[in-house]
């Protein structure tokens, strides 16, 4: 019964999210008429906005989440009946994609950061409304992500907290749908340019390389969306596209990416080459009347507020973004944390090693020799070899002796140059693949390869080859996950049918227990009219209006 319950909630949550997406498709049809697969992401973005907003005043407990859950299912049923055109086109693909992803959904072992702060932060959202200064309790609470707020909405009766990995699956599934329909539409329109092949490579890449959903966390989900973002920005300069539609898609993607990991705000640089070549002022002004532009702004606004309430900083650990006059501010800790993150990303620290003189180590390129020894070999090198193997397979699949002449526009080169700038920033400041490296390395390799292969004269079985590669990538996804599940059965005694949930222990709940003790001690002390109730085990607690404030000063 447990496996049936687990998969039933998996399916019902997908249906609920689709309901909000169908609502946007219907309501915005006359103003933002974008493809339904993008409104699927738009529906998720709306739920993130709703989660940010409500948590200021409400915990995301059963009652809160059931209301959102049931409304989504009701919307899905209503629009399924009334929007038969969308139903016929999309629901078969949705069933297929998420049916395949269910294999990746089943897992016993989560990634290392899950018990450290992914689960504790999400669980905190379900047990308390906003508590100011939470960053004082655990370092990782200073860098919140929208995926925690999304996952907190899946805390439901019966299934409890065992769907806190659902956000990554929804992002991957909807991203796959975007790429599949983009390939399908380009094939029908005979747009066999480099963007077509870049889309195909991106689909193959995310399903083969990012097959282990338990490891997605905040980083890989963002990098999947970064690949799609570059595709849409390149697509902006096709002659037949609707610029307003593409900007709606860009706002959805940027809103998601930045909210998943705040330092991805650097990717706003990708808007510069766009505005440089858009000379029509009416079009530019029209972007700021776009519905998803306002969702993007609201998400950014709430993310800034949450960051400030958690750490006293707009973007922790960037010290100049911290407000030193806030009583819970972590201005002094920010510089130390920033250096630590940089040291870790540059292979100067790990579970089993620390370099001497870290302040000197992270300066300039002092770290490069050690980084090459400790990290490039074999993590980066294996990743690059894997990409080369993927490109070789695609090359021989489409190779032809006959070539055609194509002309690239200047904008495409400028966008590619933007990717190189972002890659240089990544390499100099945080050269870890999880911090944007996967997508940037892939884009830098995929774009010139896609331009080259688009010059091959297409042969009659072109469609069959596309389908073959797509099916092959999905078979690899299934095969690698089946092998992973088999390993987990042997290593961790994972019982797939009687207990299909991921493993939890006391570590996952340590922050919740600490918060309970702090607040219980404070309330009890106040009720007994004692003085000096604020201090508990070195933690200072105060209450102003509706909110508790935690501090260590």
Q: Convert the pLDDT of each residue in 75-107 to its tens digit.
A: 999 988 877 767 678 888 999 999 999 999 999
Contact 28, 291 (CB under 8 A): yes
Mean pLDDT across the stretch 152-178? Answer: 96
**For residue 535, is pLDDT > 90?**
no
More confident residue, 191 or 208: 208
Q: pLDDT at residue 449 above 90?
A: yes
| CA–CA dist 109, 160 (Å, integer) | 18
Whether the predicted pLDDT of 281 surpasses 60: no
Hey, what are 187's tokens? Answer: 């094939």
Eight-state DSSP code of residue 316? T
CA 161 to chain centre: 20
Distance from the Cα of residue 110 to its chain's centroid: 16
What percent of the chain has pLDDT above 70? 97
**First vs last Cα of the chain: how many Å apart?**
50
pLDDT of residue 64 exceeding 90, the answer is: yes
H or E element that contains 339? helix 331-345
Using left for φ > 0, alpha for ψ between -120 and 50, and beta otherwise, residue 493 falls in left
Q: Residue 114: which of 411, 395, 507 has the closest Cα?
A: 507
Helix (H, G, I), strand (E, B) or coil at 19: helix
Please tell me which residue, 307 or 351, carries the higher pLDDT value.
Answer: 307
pLDDT of residue 405: 78
Contact 393/410 with Cβ under 8 angstroms?
A: no
CA distance 424 to 394: 27
Instruction: Read off the pLDDT band of 548 (50, 70, 90).
Output: very high
Confidence class of residue 287 from pLDDT cuts 50, 70 and 90? low
**Do the Cβ atoms of 350 and 344 come closer than 8 Å?**
yes
* pLDDT value of residue 543: 87
Coil/strand/helix, residue 179: helix
Report DSSP letters for 231-295, one per residue. HHHHHTTSTT--HHHHHHHHHHHHHHHHHHSGGGGGGGGGGHHHHHH---HHHHHHHTT-HHHHH
Average of per-residue pLDDT across 496-505: 93
User: pLDDT class for 524, splitting at 50, 70, 90?
Assistant: confident
Structure tokens at 42: 């738009």
Q: 7-32: per-residue pLDDT in tens? A: 999 999 999 999 999 888 888 776 77
Q: Which residues contact 504 (CB under 8 A, 6 or more apart)?
A: 115, 119, 161
How far apart, in whole angstroms, are the C-alpha atoms of residue 352 and residue 186?
A: 49
Q: Pick from 55, 60, 261, 48: which is nearest to 144 by CA?
A: 261
State the residue for tokens 């490891």.
215
- What gap in Å lies between CA 233 and CA 269, rounded to an integer? 12
| Cross-strand bridge partners of residue 544 | 547
Residue 185: count other Cβ atoms within 10 Å of its Cβ. Answer: 12
Query: Residue 218 pLDDT more than 80?
Result: yes
Mean pLDDT in residue range 436-463:
91
Please state the rounded mean pLDDT for residues 140-167. Answer: 95
Q: What is the arithmetic mean of pLDDT over 295-299?
A: 90
* Cis preceding-peptide flag for 514 (omega within 30 of 0): no
Please report which confidence band the pLDDT of residue 155 belongs to, taking 50, 70 and 90 as the band edges: very high
pLDDT, residue 244, reads 79
For range 409-414, the mean pLDDT: 85
Q: How far apart are CA 350 and CA 354, in angstroms?
A: 7
β-strand pairing of 547-551 with 131-132: parallel
Residue 400 has pLDDT above 80, yes or no: yes
Instruction: Give the model's pLDDT for residue 249.
Output: 92
Looking up tokens 């990746």 gives 104
The size of the chain, in residues, is 553
Rounded-to-integer distance, Cα 22 and Cα 433, Å:
35
Q: pLDDT tens-digit profile of 333-378?
A: 998 999 999 999 999 998 788 998 999 999 999 999 999 999 999 8
Q: Which tens digit of pLDDT belongs to each residue from 224-255?
A: 999 999 999 999 888 777 787 888 899 999 99
Task: Tell me the three state secondary structure of residue 539.
Answer: strand
444 confidence band (pLDDT: 50, 70, 90): very high
Q: Which residues pair with 456 in a beta bridge?
A: 403
Binned at pLDDT 50, 70 and 90, residue 138 comes out as: confident
Other CB atoms within 10 Å distance of the CB of residue 448: 11
pLDDT band at 284 (very low <50, low <70, confident <90, very high): low
Task: Report the alpha-carbon distance of residue 467 to residue 457 in Å, rounded.
Answer: 18
Boundaries of every domain in the chain? 2-311+464-492, 516-551
**Average pLDDT of the chain?**
91
């Amino acid at each position: 019964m447990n496996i049936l319950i687990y998969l039933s909630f998996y399916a019902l949550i997908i249906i609920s999210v689709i309901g909000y997406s169908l609502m946007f498709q219907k309501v915005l049809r006359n103003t933002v008429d974008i493809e339904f697969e993008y409104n699927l992401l738009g529906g998720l973005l709306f739920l993130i906005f709703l989660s940010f907003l409500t948590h200021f005043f409400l915990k995301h407990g059963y009652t809160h989440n059931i209301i959102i859950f049931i409304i989504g299912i009701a919307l899905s049923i209503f629009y399924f009946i009334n929007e038969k055109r969308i139903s016929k086109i999309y629901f078969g693909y949705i069933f297929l994609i998420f049916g395949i992803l269910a294999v990746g959904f089943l897992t016993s072992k989560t990634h290392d950061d899950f018990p450290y702060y992914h689960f504790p932060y999400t669980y905190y959202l379900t047990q308390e409304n906003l508590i100011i200064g939470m960053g004082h309790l655990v370092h990782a609470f200073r860098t919140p992500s929208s995926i925690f707020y999304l996952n907190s909405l899946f805390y439901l009766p019966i299934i409890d907290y065992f769907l806190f990995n659902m956000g990554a699956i929804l992002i991957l599934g909807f991203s796959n749908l975007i790429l599949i329909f983009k390939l399908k539409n380009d094939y029908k329109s005979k747009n066999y340019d480099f963007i077509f092949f870049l889309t195909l490579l991106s689909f193959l890449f995310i399903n083969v390389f990012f097959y282990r959903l338990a490891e997605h966390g905040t980083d890989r989900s963002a990098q999947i969306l970064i690949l799609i973002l570059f595709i849409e920005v390149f697509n902006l300069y096709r002659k037949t596209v609707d610029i307003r539609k593409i900007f709606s898609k860009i706002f959805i993607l940027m809103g998601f990416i930045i909210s998943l990991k705040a330092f991805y705000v650097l990717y706003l640089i990708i808007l510069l080459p766009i505005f440089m070549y858009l000379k029509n002022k009416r079009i530019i002004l029209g972007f700021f009347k776009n519905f998803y532009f306002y969702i993007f702004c609201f998400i950014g606004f709430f993310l800034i507020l949450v960051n400030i309430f958690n750490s006293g900083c707009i973007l922790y650990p960037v010290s100049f973004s911290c407000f030193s006059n806030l009583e819970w501010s972590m201005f002094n800790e920010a510089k130390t944390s920033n250096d630590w993150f940089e040291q870790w990303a540059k292979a100067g620290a790990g579970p089993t090693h620390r370099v001497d003189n870290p302040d000197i180590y992270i300066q300039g390129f002092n770290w490069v020799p050690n980084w090459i020894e400790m990290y490039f070999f074999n993590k980066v090198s294996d990743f690059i070899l894997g990409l080369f193997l993927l490109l070789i397979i695609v090359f021989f699949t489409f190779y032809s002796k006959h070539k055609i002449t194509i002309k690239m526009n200047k904008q495409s080169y400028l966008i590619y140059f933007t990717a190189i700038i972002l890659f240089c920033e990544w390499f100099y400041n945080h050269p870890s693949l999880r911090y944007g490296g996967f997508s940037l390395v892939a884009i830098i390799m995929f774009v010139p390869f896609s331009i080259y292969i688009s010059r091959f004269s297409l042969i009659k079985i072109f469609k069959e080859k596309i389908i073959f590669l797509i099916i092959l990538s999905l078979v690899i996804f299934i095969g690698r996950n089946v092998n992973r599940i088999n390993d987990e059965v042997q290593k961790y005694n994972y019982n797939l049918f009687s207990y299909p949930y991921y493993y939890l222990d006391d570590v996952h709940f340590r922050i919740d227990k600490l918060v309970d003790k702090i607040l219980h001690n404070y309330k009890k002390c106040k009720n007994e009219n004692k003085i000096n109730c604020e201090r508990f085990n070195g933690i200072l607690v105060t209450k102003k209006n509706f909110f508790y404030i935690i501090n260590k000063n």
